[in-house]
Amino acid sequence: MPRTWLLVATSLLLLGGCVPTSALKMHDLYVYGVENARYTYFYGQAGELLYGDRSLTLAEPDAAQAGGGRPFAVAGALMVDGGPYLRQSLERLEAAPIAVSRLPFTTDVRLELGADVSEVVYFDGQSYLRLLDEGQAGTVQRVVPRPRLNRLRGLGELSGAEADALAAALEARGRPFALAVLRTASLPTHPVDGLSEHSRTGVFVQLGVEVSEEVAGGAAEELTWEVVARGSQAVGFQGASYQLVTSRDELIALWQRAYGSQLTVPPLPELDYRRETVVALFLGSKPTGGYGVDVVDARDEGGELYLDLRLTEPGPGTITTQALTSPWLVLRVLRAGYQAAWLRDAASGNLVGVARREQ
């Protein structure tokens, strides 16, 4: 009988030693240009970790520490020796991987690559824009920025929380910036034992994007356009809605909403959808009069349609109707084939929306 209990106890000890523990993961974020530092985040089981020639104490953050509070801090990461991450200074890069400048009289930019990069992103102070998906050293080109959703999420191997922390830290500097994702093979290595996962993401940040005196590539082409109808009493639009109109049936549906508050609906304009691009802009419900939209220009830039808009709203002390309004406008451009119309503020050059074909 004692021998039986000894075998059972031994089995239990062996099974106990096989119980899996939380996997420890480490992510290195290399930030060059504005910081020249490596931020290391740890996730998983708290405890001691041998890191090079030192030992790190990893601990769960308490309620006060969970939100981070410090630039680059990531909610959910383990505390490292009492801090939200491990920060180590890096040697600055010998040459800047990117040089980005704005071209005069346009929202286009000039992009020059000094190294191979995975993606280039531009923050103009309000919106995130994609300049390049991938590029090689020596590239010099004119680029039409494309909207990029979700700020910096999806860059490299960043988690959503890490991408948001990086974006917040850079936005806090209060200036436009360009960011390039560096090839992983170009990043310094520092292996650490005892990890279930070790990921690395490197970025170079150019703080400030100035106007270039050099124009790369051909100039934008001005297009012929015409406003075919406008009004201020559309129905059924709470928020802004932009659409490419590709058929008479689509226009009829929008026309009924545009003139839905009137007893008599004007006849439809005659449009050639095979040769023209028709764009409908509805600003949505506004609390008073004085709101409106006008088209300043229409241009083909890199094969894309850009509409420069003048958006107006009542100023302080302006006398307007106190009734609800809903401004709208229908425009035709004498060129077909566009899949989208990019809308930008004529005063600032910032993108304010995009009109696409109805799905």
How confident is the model over 154-175, as pLDDT tens digits? 999 999 999 999 999 999 999 9
Please tell me the predicted confidence (pLDDT) of residue 215: 45
Q: Which residues contact 130 (CB under 8 A, 6 or more apart)?
A: 119, 120, 121, 122, 145, 146, 147, 148
* 328-354 pLDDT tens trace: 999 999 999 998 999 988 888 778 888
- Whether 13 has a pLDDT exceeding 50, the answer reads no
* 278-299 pLDDT tens trace: 999 999 999 898 999 999 999 9
Please tell me the predicted confidence (pLDDT) of residue 6: 45
* 192-248 pLDDT tens trace: 988 999 999 999 999 998 877 554 444 578 999 999 999 999 999 988 999 999 999
Backbone angles phi, psi at 90, to 5 degrees: -120, 155
pTM attached to this predicted model = 0.59
- Whether 14 has a pLDDT exceeding 90, the answer reads no
- CA dihedral defined by 293, 294, 299, 305, rounded to 10 degrees? 30
- CA dihedral defined by 214, 354, 122, 186, rounded to 10 degrees? -110
Mean model confidence pLDDT for the chain: 87
For residues 132-144, one letter each, b for 16 or more C-beta atoms within 10 angstroms of the residue's C-beta and e for the rest, the string is beebeeeeeebbb
Q: In this predicted structure, which of 9-13, 115-119, 293-297, 316-320 has the lowest mean pLDDT?
A: 9-13
Sort strands 241-245 and 351-357 into parallel, antiparallel or unpaired.
parallel
Please tell me the predicted confidence (pLDDT) of residue 213: 58
Asked if 96 contacts 132 with a C-beta cutoff of 8 angstroms, the reply is no
